[in-house]
Amino acid sequence: MLSMIIQSGGKSTRMGEDKALRDFNGRPLIKHIHEKFSPLGDEVWVITNNPEDYQFLGAPLHTDVIPNRGALGGLYTALKISSHPHVGLVACDMPFASPTLTLHLEGVLQETGADAVLPSTEGGPEPLHAVYRRQTCLPLVKEALERDQWRMVSWHDQGDVRILSPTETGQITSNEYTFWNLNTPEEFRKAAAIAKNLKDPSDHVHRKNQG
């Protein structure tokens, strides 16, 4: 069973405002992501340090368990609050993130028994669009934070982390914008224009019955 976590705990310093709440073709970006990924999860959480601003989602909200620890602190929170064995994580600022890819990653996690499965591009792994095994990853992430290591991959050498090659990742999601995270108003404008003309089949993916 899968807990789906949308990570919205960033400070959006380059945007100058909470980018998850910024308009994206007529609705807040976080609503776009939430609607896109909600069908995948047996539970769905949104991690935000400003929960009062997210009440409109009607979704379970949680603040960081350990404040001010960046994205790795967000992963720790995701693992800590999840009640299911598998945890899907997706960042709130990736409008073209792929539910199809998340389901594929969970399938690899099940088949291999790995602790985590990450996609990758030529630029490296994408830990903010990945699937994690709660039981094994939680103590590893906690230990990394206790060592004052904040990088998302700082604990990978302690676990069985499978990273899909860029080629394999591209076979699952052919959308070149899948991992594009928006940080500036100009990027928002460009992405919104692209989204209007891009038919994204992953918007309509529903979790397969695994029962």
**Domains and their CATH numbers in the chain:** 2-204 (3.90.550.10)
Residue-wise pLDDT for 194-210, tens only, equals: 998 876 655 555 554 44
Residue-wise pLDDT for 28-81, tens only, equals: 999 999 999 999 999 999 999 999 999 999 999 999 999 889 899 999 999 999
Of the listed ranges 133-142, 160-169, 172-181, the least confidently predicted one is 172-181
pTM, two decimal places: 0.92
The residues facing 138 across adjacent strands are none
The rounded distance, in Å, linking the Cα atoms of 168 and 150 is: 28
Q: Which amino acid is at 78?
A: A
b/e 159-175 (16+ beta carbons within 10 angstroms → b): bebbbbeeeebbebbeb
DSSP string, 113-126: --SEEE-EETTEE-
Name the band, by pLDDT with cuts 50, 70 and 90, for residue 17: confident
